[in-house]
Amino acid sequence: MEDFCLIQGDCMTNISQITGQVDMIFADPPYFLSTGNGTVRIGNRFHSFDKGDWDRVRSKEEIYQFNYKWLSLCREKLKDSGTIWVCGTYHNIYEVANCMKDLGYKILNMIVWKKSDPPKTLTDQRFNFSAEYIIWARKCENVRHYFNYELMEALNNGVHMPDVWTLPATGIWEKNCGKHPTQKPLRLLYRIILASTRKGETILDPFAGSCTTGIAANLLGRKFIGIEQDEKFIALGRRRKLEIQDEMVAAKMLKRMSENPQEIQVLVNHAHAELLNIMIEKGICYMRAGNAKGSILVTPGFERMGYVLLHTNGGNCHMFKLKKKGCFQIWTKETLEENGFHPEHAAYYMVLHFDNKKEINFSKSPKLRQGINTYRSKIRPLSDFIGLE
């Protein structure tokens, strides 16, 4: 499989054997937390949280030398314009950062991945561990890297995306083929890959594990090279790749990994061609709210609504950013008439104001023709329209 190359062995000896250079690297190296005898009692059973020899506790000097070596090998395989993402916790991330600086990497961000559903920390002597850290760095100090700023901004309601990301941990739906003790969620890789690569580019993961990087890369139209020394995880990665060979499974997986519980929503609203043009001219979208005795139904997600998409019969689509997220006003028919509209079907209307000076481009062709539902207003996630680039 040309787009999914999986190599069994130690990355220290296999990275140099890779032909050519890659556009991006994602690495989840050992955190060095396993002592060989770590257990915890849950109910009447004791469970081991020891991950194996690869995660054994080492001295500070050993950790530095390990990180320096693999980061040095990765830097040789990274294009001058390429970037690298490295996961960690406070146990290892500072040594990784020191090695990067010593090797000439330019650190761009320290991303805080705040888990929206963190497991309970098994001690009453500390705050609950709910975050991991991801260093994003480019290879060269003075060579410009690729960053899809516009897409990240759009996914963050039109404002500069921050370096704190609230995303859930790995879901059960990602473990159909088996699991890895440090498996990262597809939703995390989805954002990383879209932010820093283009379609058709190549991503390397020197600690491939269960191949989450490779699955996300292939679903997003990127090529993958992974190195993993454990035979059982090589087999797991291959099973996951086979799973997404089914087009229906791949489509479902892609949709789920693009979802985000905090995702911005889009109000999709049909308007006749003449009315649509007036709405764009005025920067106003409105929908009837019933009669004087009627009621308004605000569905879950309305508070995250950040965009409006206007269309006519499922075509002639135009997207704009709302001036205030999740907010609307109630206007009477007479107020709308004073603003140049001619409403006919109700006494009261929900009114949303949008920025009509900057139309938002979207990369996916929306399928809005749905019989009678074509003409009903609805809320859909932004990822239905923006994401795959």
Please give the model's pTM, rounded to 2 decimal places.
0.82
Q: Which residue among 228, 258, 288 closes a domain?
A: 258
User: Does 243 map to a domain?
Assistant: yes
My answer on whether 132 and 235 are in the same domain is yes
Average pLDDT over residues 330-335: 94
Domain span holding position 272: 265-384
Sheet containing 315-321: order of strands: 315-321, 305-312, 265-270, 378-381
- Are 187 and 286 within one domain? no
Do 165 and 36 share a structural domain? yes
pLDDT, tens only, 357-370: 999 988 777 788 88
> Is 353 inside a domain boundary?
yes
Q: Is the pLDDT of residue 323 over 80?
A: yes
Domain edge (last residue) among 258, 283, 304:
258
Say yes or no: 61 and 151 in one domain.
yes
Does residue 227 share a domain with residue 79?
yes
- Whether residue 88 lies inside any domain: the answer is yes
Give the pLDDT mean for 346-374: 88
Max avg pLDDT among 90-94, 142-146, 297-301: 142-146
Residue 389 is assigned to a structural domain of this protein: no
The single residue listed with the structure tokens 């020191």 is: 98
Of 233, 258, 283, the domain-final residue: 258
DSSP secondary structure letter of residue 22: E
- Write down the pLDDT at residue 42: 45
- pLDDT tens by residue, 51-63: 555 555 567 888 8
> CATH no. for residue 151?
3.40.50.150
pLDDT in tens, 235-268: 999 999 999 999 999 999 998 998 887 889 999 9
pLDDT value for 347: 87
320 and 203 assigned to the same domain: no
Same structural domain, 72 and 207: yes
Say yes or no: 193 and 231 in one domain: yes
Counted domains in the chain: 2
Q: Is 45 exposed, middle or buried (0-12, 13-18, 19+ CB in 10 A)?
A: exposed
Nearest residue to 316 (alpha-carbon basis) of 355, 353, 279 = 279
277 and 245, same structural domain? no
Residue 19 pLDDT > 80: yes
The alpha carbon torsion through 384, 145, 30, 49 (nearest 10 deg) reads -20
Same-domain check for residues 251 and 314: no
Distance CA 174, CA 209 (A): 14
Interatomic CA distance for residues 71 and 26, integer angstroms: 11
**Whether residue 143 is found in the same domain as residue 201:** yes
User: Has residue 179 been placed in a domain?
Assistant: yes
Q: Do residue 207 and residue 128 come from a single domain?
A: yes
